[in-house]
Structure 1
Amino acid sequence: MGIQERKTRHKEDLRKRILEAAKKLFLTAGYEATSIRKIAKEIEFSPTTIYLYYKDKSDIIYALHQEGFQLLRQNFQPLMQVESPFERLKALGRCYIKFAFEHPDFYELMFVMKDPMEHLEINCVEASWEDGERVFDFLLKTVRDGQDQGYFKGLDATHVAMEAWASVHGMCALYVSGHLRSMMHVVFGDEDQERMIENAFRVLVHYLESTK
């Protein structure tokens, strides 16, 4: 390995350490209580080092936000090969639920915390949420493909996509926040949380299928 390659790898490794430390602190201490100094202390580097990579903590949380959406897009990618739009829609829902359970930290940053979105609004960077938009565009295309086959008659495709996303997100957000566990203990006993969400998603799918 050459000197330049070692330098590049070192920079990437340090960047990952910064993001992992920041993600941990954002989710445990909260965004407002987390400072660049605290992130630096977590990885045992000086704050100056972090400023070589990120201009401030909003830049860091935005980078985490983008990383999460890139990961979700990678998970969605194989589903593009599913020919049946309705089967693809069901697969998207299951994939989304699985992502929330396997990456609750990223899910909270992407879909629950308001700070990354405030970064976008303040900076007003055109196409700065490209990864997030592509994820929704895939869902929207799937709905429109379904309409071509007779599903969702008389319904606006964007509204159907938003309803499908909002319904699944609501269940996943309850899981990530810990509220689902408390509710299930009282109402559903010891039923597995992921299975509970998947069963609720089947109810939504049954409703959507009836629109054909």
Structure 2
Amino acid sequence: MGIKERRDIEKAEMKKKIKGAAIELIEQEGYEKLSIRKIAAKIEYSPTTIYLYYKDKAEIISDMSYDLYHKVESNAAAIINGNAALSIDQRIRSLLNVFVMSLCSEPEMAKAIMYSGTNAIFANESRNDKPSNSGIDMLDNFFADGIAQRVLKPNIANTSWMIISALLGFVMCAIENQLYKLEDFDRLVSDFIEILMGGIRL
């Protein structure tokens, strides 16, 4: 292993420590009381060292959001690429399921991001006064296909951000109440998604 590879691994490990400490502190004290100094004390480094990796606490949350969003997006891509034979409503159901399960697989990180109030998981841009990101756009495209195939209601065009909002509410409830630990959590998720699907199917 070369020097660059070793440094990259060390940098990734340090960032992981910093994010882990930030998650713990947000859970204990809330995002408003989070500080670089407290993170440094938690992992027993100087604040100066933390600043080598992040300029402020908002950047730490942004990095966490990227990690989690990338996980959701990767899992969604696997669903899309691996289930081409499924009907459009089955594919949408699978996408909604993977969204919930991906976030619930990292409960502490999801909660920390939500508590930060940065809105980073939900959307990182706005278009026509509506939240937007590549995931929302992808779901909107699926909705458009479903409308064209006369499987989905025509009035749901460009409303996937509403579905994402509902999913995030469900995820936060599941995380706050530790429902994701229940043996029948898969069934709860399926039931919730079926309720959502009932609102968009013809």
Provide the C-alpha distance between the structure 2 equivalents of 1:5 and 1:196, rounded to a whole number of angstroms.
43
Instruction: State the AA in 2 paired with 1:115.
Output: G
Once residues 16 and 191 of structure 1 are traced to their aligned partners in structure 2, the CA distance between those partners, rounded to angstroms, is 29
Change over 3 Å in CA distance of 1:163–1:125 after alignment to 2: closer
Quote the residue 1:38 is aligned against.
38
Distance 1:104 1:4 in 2: 32
Give the aligned CA root-mean-square deviation in angstroms.
Answer: 2.9
Which residue among 103, 120, 123 is the counterpart of 2:106?
A: 103
> Quick check: 1:58–1:115 contact (8 Å CA) kept in 2?
no
Q: How many angstroms apart in 1 are the aligned matches of 2:100 and 2:198?
A: 17
Contact 1:101/1:194 (8 A) holds in 2: no
Runs of 4+, deviation exceeding 4 Å:
none
- Is the contact made by 1:147 and 1:153 (CA closer than 8 Å) also made in structure 2? yes
Given that 1:100 and 1:176 are in contact with CA atoms closer than 8 Å, whether structure 2 keeps it comes out as no
The CA deviation at 1:27 is: 2.5
Amino acid at match of 1:43: I
Shift of 1:194: 4.2
Aligned residue type for 1:135: G
Residue identity matched to 1:24: E
- How high is the sequence identity, in percent, across the aligned residues? 28
Structure 1 residue 203 corresponds to structure 2 residue 202: no
Using the alignment, how far apart are the partners of 1:179 and 1:7 within structure 2?
Answer: 37
- Write the distance in 2 (CA, Å) between the matches of 1:17 and 1:206: 43
Aligned-partner residue type, residue 167 of structure 1: A
Aligned partners of 2:79 and 2:95 also within 8 Å: yes
Counterparts of 1:22 and 1:7, CA distance in 2: 22
Q: Which runs of 5+ in 2 are unaligned?
A: 127-131
Task: Name the stretch that deviates more: 199-208 or 71-80.
Answer: 199-208
Counterpart CA distance in 2 for 1:63 and 1:9 is 16
Inter-partner Cα distance in structure 2 for 1:39 and 1:201: 38
Deviations 1:117-168 (A, max 9, x none): 49xxxxx999xxxxx7111112111111111211234314112x23332333
Check whether the contact 2:93–2:197 (CA below 8 A) recurs between aligned residues: yes
Q: What CA distance in whole angstroms lies between the structure 2 residues aligned with 1:80 and 1:31? A: 35
Could you list the runs of 5+ residues in structure 1 that have no partner in the other structure?
A: 119-123, 127-131, 182-189
- Separation in 1, partners of 2:57, 2:144: 39
For 1:86, give the aligned amino acid. D
Offset, 1:100: 3.2
Matches within 5 A, 1:107-126: 107-110=110-113, 112-117=114-119
- TM-score, normalised on structure 2? 0.80
Equivalences, count: 191
Determine if the alignment matches structure 1 residue 85 to structure 2 residue 88.
yes
In the alignment, residue 39 of structure 1 is paired with which amino acid? I
Partners of 1:23 and 1:198 lie apart in 2 by 29
The 2-side partners of 1:156 and 1:9 are apart by 45
Mapping of residues 1-212 of structure 1, within 5 Å: 1-81=1-81, 82-83=83-84, 84-110=87-113, 112-117=114-119, 133-159=133-159, 161-178=160-177, 192-209=184-201, 211=202
Report the residue type matching 2:111 in the other structure.
E
Name the CA shift for 1:125/1:6 in 2 (closer, same or farther; >3 Å).
Answer: same
